[in-house]
Homo-oligomer: A and B are copies of this chain.
Amino acid sequence: MVSAPSQSTKAEPPSAYAEAGVDAALAARAVRGIVGELGGSSGVLDGPYFAAVIEFAGTGLALCTDGVGSKALVAQMMERYDTIGIDCVAMNVNDLICVGARPVSMLDYIAVDVADPDKLAAIARGLRVGADEAGISIAGGEVAQLGGIIKDHDGRGGFDLVGMAVGEVALDKIVIGANLEHGDVVVGLASNGVHSNGLTLARRALFDQGGLGIDEAVSELDRTAGEELLAPTYIYVRAALEMLGRGLVKAMAHITGDGFLNLTRVERPVGYVLDALPPPPPVFALIQQMGGVSIEEMFGVFNMGVGLCAVTAAGDADAVIAIAESHGFAAQVIGSVDAEPAVPRSVRIHAHGLIGEGTSFRRE
């Protein structure tokens, strides 16, 4: 196992995204610097996984932290604050399940320029909904009024919303893809749109470059542009726990920043060939067209319609799909494991002739 702590970053790579204000190369360097300083932690599990695991009272305590990032700005543009808390819970609990942990509780941290009781209560309502869906408690939290640090937006205030979640996993049940084999299959569960990654690029493409209004109905979508981007991140916990409980999961990947490259956050340096992806929901084509974003960048930033992947033995795929569907998630086999790839820890997107490694895709 890798010995560096699981410091991660929201920032993703190439050109359009860097122009939109998120410089991924810089962020990756920054994270490497942090890991260098913090290395040598005493966790049971640290490294590139979705959550850290430490031994606690004889079992595994899984820990992770993530925020909603610039999706907060979409909530502000729409002046709708009662769903962003769902995203905050989702970003954390969907990471916990990827190490095989049962999410238990979360703390919230909300930084604001000025504390607006109504807005904060609405955010809390979303947190409550998300926590109920994930089956966790919200044990506590912190509201920090930081007018010197958080930007105001057009007098509507500003905020940053972050969660820190804990889960439980037996030390001998940690899931990190240690036994992935050639021919194992990747089952993809549908996402609910962009979820909580790539929003800086999406906002720039749709609103700044595409000229869409936040409340504008878009013929390609069933909802307004704002509703589309604000749609809450799916919480996959109940489906995942059923898959895990039945021993069907060899690896699980929450598809966040870096898209399908999240599949490589496993112990074995396998590759993946994704040759049966579902058609991406229309919002992605819209972002690509309006923002002039290359297909390789789209796949390096967005989930492209798949929010969670479960890697499973080929014979278990039908059972995994059935569980996903019983919890309301469309699911299908989207590809398979290549145990001896030309490029270790790579992901090939067959339909577009792309290969990805690290944090970005390129044409093969």
- Give A residues with C-beta under 8 Å from B: 5-11, 21-23, 26-27, 29-34, 36-38, 41-43, 46, 51-52, 54, 56-59, 61, 63-67, 69-70, 72-73, 104-105, 107-109, 111, 114-118, 120-121, 123-125, 127-128, 131, 137-151, 158-160, 162, 164, 166, 168, 200
Contact of B117 with A33 in the complex, beta carbons under 8 Å: yes
State the CA gap A219–B329 with chains docked (Å).
67
Q: Are A115 and B27 also in contact (CB < 8 A) when A41-B139, A43-B137, A65-B164 are?
A: yes
By the criterion CB–CB under 8 Å, are A38 and B127 in contact?
A: yes
How many monomers of this protein are in the complex? Answer: 2
Residue among B30, B38, B151 making CB contact with A148, cutoff 8 Å: B151
A62–B115 CA distance with the chains assembled, in angstroms: 27
**Selected contact of A143 from candidates B31, B52, B150, B168, CB within 8 Å:** B31
With contacts A30-B116, A121-B36, A127-B38 known, is A70 near B149, CB below 8 A? yes
Contact yes or no, B121 A10, CB < 8 A: no
| Nearest-CB residue, chain B, relative to A152 | B151
Asked whether, in the complex, the Cβ of A63 is within 8 Å of the Cβ of B27, the reply is no
What are 13 A-to-B residue pairs whose CB atoms are below 8 Å? A7-B143, A10-B143, A30-B117, A33-B124, A34-B120, A37-B124, A38-B127, A46-B140, A51-B140, A57-B168, A63-B107, A63-B139, A63-B140
Q: Is B160 within 8 A of A52, CB to CB?
A: no
Please name 17 further chain A to chain B contacts, defined as beta carbons within 8 Å, in addition to the given A8-B142, A32-B117, A56-B57, sorted by A numbering: A6-B139, A6-B140, A7-B141, A21-B148, A26-B116, A27-B145, A30-B120, A31-B143, A34-B120, A34-B141, A37-B128, A41-B105, A61-B166, A69-B144, A72-B149, A109-B109, A109-B164
Q: Which chain B residues lie closer than 8 Å to A141 at the CB level?
A: 5-8, 34, 38, 65
**Interchain CB contact under 8 A, B143 and A34:** yes
In the assembled complex, which residues on chain B have CB atoms less than 8 Å from the CB atom of A116? 26, 30
Closest to A110 in B: B34
Q: Is the CB of A144 within 8 A of B67?
A: yes
Select A65's contact among B6, B10, B107, beta carbons within 8 Å.
B107
Query: B148 near A150 (CB under 8 angstroms)?
Result: no
Q: Is the CB of B128 within 8 A of A22?
A: no
With a CB–CB cut-off of 8 A, which chain B residues contact A66? 142
Q: How far is the CB of A43 from chain B (nearest CB, A)?
A: 5
A37 engages B139 (CB within 8 Å)? no
Q: List residues of chain B with CB within 8 A of the CB of A111.
A: 67, 111, 160, 162
- With A9-B143, A73-B149, A148-B73 as contacts: A64 and B107 at CB distance below 8 Å: yes
Residues in B whose Cβ lies below 8 Å from that of A151: 148-151
With A149-B70, A150-B149, A160-B160 known as contacts, the answer to whether A27 contacts B168 (CB < 8 A) is no
Q: Select the residue from A124, A140, A160 with max chain B CB neighbours within 10 A.
A: A140
A330 to B167, CA, bound (A): 39
In the bound assembly, the distance between CA atoms of A150 and B70 in angstroms comes to: 10
